[in-house]
Amino acid sequence: MGRLGWGAHFGGLAARLEGAFGADGVFAHNRLRFVDFVDDVEELLEAVARRERGDEEAADGFEEYVLRHYGG
């Protein structure tokens, strides 16, 4: 993200997502519900969309898409 110039947008991302994945890179369902994780990511994307475009609608549909395709 930093190399793309987006580092400032995601300053708190690592802290908010800490513990979401295990050392093996697999989502840690025993630490965080997947639906809550996806909701947090959508909120982060909406904040970026507001800053970049002045409108969070660019992130609309993210949560529904992810849960439909990966939520089981």
Contact 28, 20 (CB under 8 A): yes
Q: What rounded mean pLDDT belongs to the chain? A: 79
Non-local (6+) Cβ contacts of 17 within 8 A are 37, 40, 41
Distance CA 45, CA 62 (A): 9
Q: How confident is the model at residue 18 (pLDDT cuts 50, 70, 90)?
A: confident
pLDDT at residue 1, rounded to an integer: 55
pTM: 0.68
Instruction: Identify the pLDDT of residue 70.
Output: 85
* pLDDT for 4 beyond 70: no
Task: For residue 70, report the phi and psi dihedrals to the nearest 5 degrees.
Answer: -125, -5
Q: What percent of the chain has pLDDT over 90?
A: 0
Where are the chain's structural domains? 11-71
